[in-house]
Amino acid sequence: MDRKAVVVLSGGQDSTTCLYWALEQFGADNVEALSFDYGQRHRIELECAAKVANLAGVEQTTLPIDTFAALGGNALTDSAIGVEDAAGDSLPNTFVPGRNLIFLTFAAAFAWQRDASDLVAGVAQTDYSGYPDCRRATIDALEQSLTLGMERTFRIHTPLMSLTKKETVELARDLGALDVMASTHTCYNGQRPPCGECPACRLRARGFLEAGIADPLDSI
C-alpha cells in the first residue's frame, strides 16, 4: 500500500512549497492538506490555503482550534498587539507558544484516522525568527512522542529545515510551484498586495531577490 501524507498547510510560501514537495514524494493521490483556523487575525491565510489546495488538486480540511486567541498575548491572534521584531535575545511577538507542537499533534490525530503516518511541515531553523518549535530537535522529540502516544510510527518531514529562504524559493521553482506562489499569503499585517514592511514580507522579498526570481505575488 502506498504511504499517505498529511501536509500542514497555512497558505503561506513555505507550507505551499512543502505541499508540492509531498506531491512529488508521495504522489497526488496520497497527499491531503490540513489547515487550522486558530483565530488568526488575518482570515486571508485560510482563503489562500483553500486556493492553494485547490490548485494543487488535493483534498483539504480545516480544523477549528481557537484556543490561541483565547490565550492572547501575541501579534498573530491579538489585534491590539502590533508586529514587532524581537529585541535582544527575546522571541518576537509573532511567536505563538506551542503552535507547531499543537498543529502537528492534531495533524497526527487526523492522519491516524486516515491510515497515514507521514506528516509534512514547513518549519525551518535557518534564517527565521528563532522560534524554538521550528527546530529539528523539537520535531524529533515530538515525532517520538506521537509514535509512542498513538502506537504508530509517525515521520515528520521538514524539507525546508536547513534551507535558506533563497534555497526555499529555488526548491519551489524546481517543484513547479512558482505560479501557485501568487495565491499564497505571507504578510504579518494581512495586506494584499503585501505591505512590504513587516518581518515576514522582508524575509520573503529577500529570498526571491537572492534567488533572482520575481515573486509572482508582486504582479497581481
Binding site for Zn ion (CB under 5 A): 187, 189, 194-195, 198, 201
Q: Which three cell numbers stand for residue 18?
A: 512543502
Please state the closest distance from residue 117 (CB atom) to Zn ion, in A. 36
Element (H, E) at 167: helix 165-174
Using the minimum distance from each CB to Zn ion, give the nearer residue, 123 or 198: 198
Place of cell 527565521: 128
Please state the closest distance from residue 218 (CB atom) to Zn ion, in A. 12
Using the minimum distance from each CB to Zn ion, give the nearer residue, 159 or 190: 190
Region of 67 please: left (phi>0), alpha (psi -120 to 50) or beta: alpha
Please state the closest distance from residue 190 (CB atom) to Zn ion, in A. 8
Place of cell 534551507: 163
Place of cell 490555503: 49
Using the minimum distance from each CB to Zn ion, give the nearer residue, 49 or 201: 201
Q: Which amino acid is at 129?
A: S
DSSP string, 110-162: HHHHTT--EEE----SSSS---GGGSHHHHHHHHHHHHHHHTS--EEE-TTTT
Using the minimum distance from each CB to Zn ion, give the nearer residue, 97 or 199: 199
- As a 3-state breakdown, the chain gives helix, strand, coil percent values, each rounded to 5, of 45, 10, 45
In angstroms, the CA 99 to CA 152 distance is: 22
Please state the closest distance from residue 76 (CB atom) to Zn ion, in A. 13
**What is the CA angle 6-13-53, rounded to 5?**
45
Please state the closest distance from residue 192 (CB atom) to Zn ion, in A. 10
Using the minimum distance from each CB to Zn ion, give the nearer residue, 150 or 195: 195
Using the minimum distance from each CB to Zn ion, give the nearer residue, 76 or 175: 76
Please state the closest distance from residue 220 (CB atom) to Zn ion, in A. 15
